[in-house]
Structure 1
Amino acid sequence: MTDTGFAISAPLRSHVTAWQRELATIRRLSPKTVEAYGRDLDQFMAFLSAHIGGTVDLGDLKQLRPADLRAFLAARRRADIGSRSLARALSGVKSFFTYLEREGVMALEALSVVRTPKLPRGLPKPLSASEAKAVGPATHEMEVRPWIAARDVAVISLCYGAGLRISEALALTRADLDGSALRVVGKGNKVRLVPLIAPVRAAIEDYLRLCPFAVGANDPMFRGVRGGPLSPRLIQLRLEELRGALGLPASATPHALRHSFATHLLAGGGDLRAIQELLGHASLSTTQIYTHIDGERLLEAYRSAHPRS
């Protein structure tokens, strides 16, 4: 912990050091995340030190009430800290107390009744149509093994050309290919049929033709280099490589391609309820987030169609 002008007891400081070591070596969090968690705990300890008027020790922590934790969050809020930073601060504090409980030092029930601050709903960050289209050809240029290039292009095509989640794409079997449609099992085991446009079907067929492993009707379609099911991390890494090669934004991820699918359909005049079905959203309100992205097109539709526009 950094020297911020407050005091904690030696036993408590020892536990803090051990907790930070666990974050870095066992949980393998990034150095910046460990630093941020430590800073959040510093701020919490500084608040407690001022609150009790002295050195903070384990006995003080055991006596914490929900009101004390809420007072800490309120103090941070008054310092003009946003909801996202507040949520992370509470997460860091909870992580430390979870460590103490796991080590048999103490348990703090007060944390369980303090709610995480509501986070503002972020808008998806879709790629432009030209950026999304460039991903496939660039993959073939970067990967010398034809079957792996074809595999990655097929998965990426399913994310952008069919709006699939990466988990849905990697769970597909050959039996899920049903003529011109695709049988997709989404969240909650909800099954939906998604039309396959010609480029996506061609990408899948190209991969299946080149794949060196036998793919049975009910086997996972996409394979790793040793023949096992393909890890989503490999597709994420492929997108990271493509970000550098094509100058794509940091938001260019497999899920961003799904966002791009929905946004570009909406921009092209797609019906919101039809897009809801294609994405597998249980509620239309989830799909309506895309109307915020393409508000200009909706405004133009209003101007051209409404009698009083």
Structure 2
Amino acid sequence: MTIAEQYPHLQQFFQYLQFEKRYSQHTLVAYQNDLEQFCIYLISFYDAPPMEAVKPAMVRSWLATMKAEEAVANKTLNRKISTLKSFFKFLMKNGVLQQTPMATIISPKVSKRLPVFVEENDFKNNFSKLHFTDDHAGKTERLVLLLFYNTGMRLSELINLKESGIDWSYSHIKVLGKGNKERIIPVSKELLQELQTYIETKPASGEAEAYVFVNAKGKRLVAKSVYNFINKQLTYITTISQKSPHILRHTFATHLMNNGADLNAVKELLGHSSLAATQVYTHNTIEKLKEVYKQAHPKA
């Protein structure tokens, strides 16, 4: 008997996430992997109990096993706990369970690390020195890099950006973020002009609603290719070890904060659901102030 046959509610949950919550494919895969891993554990160690019979002790045992035998990090454990909480909440909502076994499960503490970002001077001084080929690929790489830095959008938001999401009159871009939430990001007239030129000269896609960024065949960019060329170009801009599209999102937020932007405004620009997620960028500002103090104050 397969996992899906043993636990039919799994497929119902995945369909709920896909069609009602409209989660991204990346998030769906993560949920599926976590739940299948948990179900395999239930089958192996508890003789496949129905979900109604799952106890908090079973969940704790699974988490402890991963921590001890697989050295799974607390951050990963927290994600798996979040997955189970969502799943059991779904079962309660649909009348399968009367109560969730997750009520007494406590997430382990995760040490907060400051976001890694590209220094402002490094970006300003080194971007002009980058070499982009004079073909469609080179123009795409250059504009994608600029858009990441100027808007702070996520990788998934950029590759799914459509021409209809650009408001030329009001100089802003509409993106679809996490949880299918729309947000508006202002862009400069100069960047809009570059986007317009790119759209006018890019290969035809034949799509009903055209994506802004396409490859030489007119197909929407894929996440892996964007990650690869951003990683390559950042090598020439900065010496930090992490080089990814998300680093440019951190860079966007940190540069705004360092130049006096309002925290709530940065929260809205990033599309964070809570202010707590944005507050981490204030720490970088504080660290910068400490550095200035040490360098400038005679008694530091």
| CA apart distance, 1:75 | 10
- For residues 64-101 of structure 1, what are the alpha-carbon distances to aligned partners after superposition, in whole Å with 9 as ceiling and x for unaligned? x859948967996xxxxx9837968xx9xxxxxxxxxx
Letter in 2 for 1:287: T
Residue 224 (structure 2) pairs with residue 227 (structure 1): no
* Residue equivalent to 2:148: 159
Residue 214 (structure 2) pairs with residue 254 (structure 1): no
Residue 181 (structure 2) pairs with residue 190 (structure 1): yes
* Residue equivalent to 2:28: none
* Unaligned runs of at least 5 residues, structure 1: 1-59, 77-81, 92-111, 301-309
| CA apart distance, 1:243 | 3.8
* Residue equivalent to 1:127: 118
- Aligned partner of 2:254 among 238, 246, 263: 263
Q: Secondary structure, in 3 states, of the residue corresponding to 1:233? A: helix
Change (3 A) 1:213 1:75: closer
Q: For 1:225-304, what aligned pairs fall within 5 Å after superposition?
A: 225-296=216-287
Q: For 1:136-175, what aligned pairs fall within 5 Å after superposition?
A: 136-139=127-130, 141=131, 143-175=132-164
Change (3 A) 1:135 1:283: farther
Q: Distance in 2 between matches of 1:222 and 1:184?
A: 14
C-alpha contact (below 8 Å) 1:182/1:196 kept by paired residues: yes
TM-score of the pair, normalised by structure 2: 0.59
C-alpha contact (below 8 Å) 1:154/1:204 kept by paired residues: yes
Q: Distance in 1 between matches of 2:63 and 2:245?
A: 40
- Report the structure number with the largest CA radius of gyration: 1
Change (3 A) 1:67 1:240: closer
Letter in 2 for 1:84: A
C-alpha contact (below 8 Å) 2:141/2:230 kept by paired residues: no
C-alpha contact (below 8 Å) 1:136/1:156 kept by paired residues: no
C-alpha contact (below 8 Å) 1:174/1:217 kept by paired residues: no
| CA apart distance, 1:193 | 1.3
Change (3 A) 1:145 1:213: farther
| CA apart distance, 1:222 | 0.7
Q: Secondary structure, in 3 states, of the residue corresponding to 1:294? A: helix
Q: Secondary structure, in 3 states, of the residue corresponding to 2:174? A: strand
Q: Distance in 2 between matches of 1:126 and 1:289?
A: 12
Root-mean-square deviation (CA, aligned residues, Å) is 3.9
Q: Distance in 2 between matches of 1:86 and 1:198?
A: 40
Q: Distance in 2 between matches of 1:235 and 1:244?
A: 14
Letter in 1 for 2:225: L
TM-score of the pair, normalised by structure 1: 0.57
Q: Distance in 2 between matches of 1:67 and 1:281?
A: 30
Q: Distance in 1 between matches of 2:154 and 2:202?
A: 22
Q: Secondary structure, in 3 states, of the residue corresponding to 1:148? A: helix
| CA apart distance, 1:119 | 2.6
C-alpha contact (below 8 Å) 2:202/2:218 kept by paired residues: no
Change (3 A) 1:252 1:246: same
The number of residues matched between the two structures is: 215
C-alpha contact (below 8 Å) 1:136/1:153 kept by paired residues: no
- For residues 15-73 of structure 1, what are the alpha-carbon distances to aligned partners after superposition, in whole Å with 9 as ceiling and x for unaligned? xxxxxxxxxxxxxxxxxxxxxxxxxxxxxxxxxxxxxxxxxxxxx9679x859948967
Change (3 A) 1:151 1:276: same
